[in-house]
């Protein structure tokens, strides 16, 4: 069986490895993005396992020419930024791997929004490719409890591992001529979330609770190098955050040095602790923050 994978990131690598190790023919169509490291990982992986890889250029027909040339038996899309015209896929069974529950977290950044919104359960889906983003019949889904140590990259990694189960199951059903399951999602809210904008990754000290701020930090790590606040007119990013038992009457956003830990007052008189910052294009451990002017009593924007 020949499996085609269309992607714009490196999250599909574990899936491709698993399929190739089962002696399935894996062909990859890769759309390069700004993530140079991901490009290098994909190219090195394909070279190591002698997999066919085509890089997308500037031609809109590249992907359709590739499909016509390799003629895959099944097609999986994972992290591709463009909407494919399903009419041009002919009779090829095609599925999209979506790192979010459907239809409640449609859109290109479901992991970010799930973490930011503090969802107690995180969901992942595989659906039949349709003529609208993330709108096809859901044929597989999994949910896992959120964990305090999960951040954006960690959840993406979990999805890349769990979706292998769904892909293997789909391939088995197609091979045996069995009907695909129809996961019932009719009772769920339909919601489409766009890519996060600047306002979505900014900390509002006056309105956000400590839990909301910590959730935002996890949702922004590592792709945005943390959640953004302002210090002396420049961006300061918090790369980690945890709740404390400290009570304070200082204004939200005010820095407190408490028992040698870097804390920040939040709405409601509580604080969060942070250990790693990002300032002036450099990683800054909190124990050096005072040397950069982040002193007790300074208020962040």
Which pTM does this prediction carry? 0.94
Q: 56 is written with which tokens?
A: 């997308």
Residues sharing a CB contact under 8 Å with residue 40, sequence separation 6 or more, in sequence order = none
Q: List 143's β-bridge partners, or say none.
A: 123
The CATH architecture assigned to 2-99+121-176 reads 3-Layer(aba) Sandwich (3.40)
Residue that the structure tokens 């955050």 belong to: 241
Q: 68 is written with which tokens?
A: 């016509």
pLDDT value of position 86? 92
Q: 181 is written with which tokens?
A: 């399951």
Long-range contacts formed by 259-267: CB under 8 A, 24+ apart: 260/287, 261/286, 262/286, 262/287, 262/289, 262/294, 264/205, 264/238, 264/300, 265/205, 266/205, 266/208, 266/209, 266/210, 266/213, 267/205, 267/206, 267/207, 267/208, 267/209, 267/210
Residue that the structure tokens 């790192």 belong to: 99
Q: 247 is written with which tokens?
A: 């009570």
pLDDT value of position 7? 94
Give domain 198-292's CATH number out of 3.10.25.10, 3.90.930.12, 3.30.470.160, 3.10.20.30.
3.10.25.10
The segment(s) of the chain belonging to CATH 3.10.25.10 are: 198-292
The segment(s) of the chain belonging to CATH 3.40.50.12230 are: 2-99+121-176
pLDDT in tens, the chain (301 residues): 999 999 998 999 999 999 999 999 999 999 877 777 888 888 888 888 888 888 887 677 899 999 999 999 999 999 998 999 999 987 899 999 999 999 999 999 999 999 999 999 999 999 999 999 999 999 999 999 999 999 999 999 999 999 999 999 999 999 999 999 999 876 778 899 999 999 999 999 999 999 999 999 999 999 999 999 999 999 999 999 999 999 999 999 999 998 889 999 999 999 999 999 999 999 999 999 999 999 999 999 8
Query: What are the φ and ψ backbone dihedral angles of 218, each rounded to 5 degrees?
Result: -65, -40
Task: State the virtual CA torsion across 42, 109, 71, 129 in degrees, nearest 10.
Answer: 160
pLDDT value of position 4? 96
């Amino acid at each position: 069986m020949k499996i085609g994978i269309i992607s714009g990131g490196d999250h599909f690598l574990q899936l491709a490895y698993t399929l190739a190790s089962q002696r399935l023919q894996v062909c990859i169509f890769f759309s390069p993005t700004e993530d140079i490291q991901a490009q290098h990982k994909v190219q090195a992986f394909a070279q190591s396992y002698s997999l066919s890889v085509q890089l997308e250029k500037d031609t809109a027909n590249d992907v359709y020419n590739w499909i016509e040339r390799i003629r895959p038996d099944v097609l999986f899309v994972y992290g591709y930024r463009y909407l494919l015209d399903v009419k041009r896929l002919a009779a090829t069974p095609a599925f999209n791997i979506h790192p979010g529950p459907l239809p409640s977290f449609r859109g290109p950044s479901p992991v970010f929004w799930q973490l930011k919104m503090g969802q107690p359960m995180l969901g992942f889906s595989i659906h039949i490719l349709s003529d609208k983003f993330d709108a096809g019949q859901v044929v597989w889904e999994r949910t896992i409890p959120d964990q305090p140590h999960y951040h954006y990259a960690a959840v993406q990694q979990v999805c890349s591992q769990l979706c292998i189960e769904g892909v293997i199951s789909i391939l088995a059903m197609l091979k045996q001529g069995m009907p695909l399951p129809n996961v019932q999602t009719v009772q769920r809210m339909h919601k489409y979330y766009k890519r996060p904008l600047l306002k979505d990754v900014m900390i509002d000290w006056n309105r956000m609770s400590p839990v909301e701020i910590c959730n935002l930090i996890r949702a922004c790590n590592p792709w945005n190098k943390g959640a953004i606040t302002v210090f002396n007119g420049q961006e300061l990013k918090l790369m980690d955050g945890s709740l404390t038992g400290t009570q304070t009457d200082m204004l939200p956003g005010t820095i407190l040095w408490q028992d040698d830990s870097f804390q920040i007052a939040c709405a409601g008189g509580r604080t969060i602790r942070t250990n790693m910052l990002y300032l002036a294009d450099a990683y800054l451990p909190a124990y050096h923050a005072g040397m950069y002017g982040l002193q007790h009593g300074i208020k962040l924007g």
